Amino acid sequence: MTKWLHRSKRTKTGSLRKRLKKNKRYQLGRDYLPAHIGEKRIKVKRAKGGNEKRIALKINTANIIVKGKAQKTKILKVLENKANPHFVRMNIITKGAVIETELGKAVVSSRPGQEGVVNARLLEEKS
């Protein structure tokens, strides 16, 4: 269902507000499309000003910062996600999620649903 991002039709006391203008395209929201672990699939959506948002539907690699240098590595699984504890079970990646990679544990610092990539910083290396 379409989400409209504008003020409520009702006042805080509950009465109906008079309509000032009709719905505009820039007020449209969109449904949440989670980024799962899997073979890379990215959806491109048009954003305001003709720009584009790259929504990662499935992604299996992450750019990890190790001692100031970036390395591309494979994502194995999601260990912790503060956004929603059920996201760990479903292997959904969001900003702030702790993921297990081939290099070790890392915290996601990018927004895969907005940028289409997973950037992370290493927490602890695998021994």
pLDDT digits (tens, 9 = 90+) for 11-38: 999 999 998 888 888 888 888 899 999 9
Token output for 99: 């993921």
Which tens digit of pLDDT belongs to each residue from 75-125? 999 999 999 999 999 999 999 999 999 999 999 999 999 999 999 999 988
Range of the domain at 74: 35-125
Q: Which amino acid is at 126?
A: K
Q: How many domains does the chain have?
A: 1
**Dist CA 78 CA 8 (whole Å):** 37
Q: What is the CATH number of the domain that holds 67?
A: 3.10.290.70
Task: Give domain status of residue 88, yes or no.
Answer: yes
Task: Give domain status of residue 22, yes or no.
Answer: no
In this prediction, residue 63 carries a pLDDT of 96
Task: Give domain status of residue 79, yes or no.
Answer: yes
In this prediction, residue 4 carries a pLDDT of 83
Q: Which amino acid is at 21?
A: K
Token output for 69: 């240098």
pTM to 2 decimals? Answer: 0.82
Task: Give domain status of residue 3, yes or no.
Answer: no
Confidence of residue 1 (pLDDT cuts 50, 70, 90): low
Confidence of residue 62 (pLDDT cuts 50, 70, 90): very high
Task: Give domain status of residue 48, yes or no.
Answer: yes
Q: How many Å separate Cα 63 from the centre of its chain?
A: 15
- Say yes or no to pLDDT of 5 above 90: no
**Dist CA 19 CA 60 (whole Å):** 47
Task: Give domain status of residue 74, yes or no.
Answer: yes
Task: Give domain status of residue 6, yes or no.
Answer: no
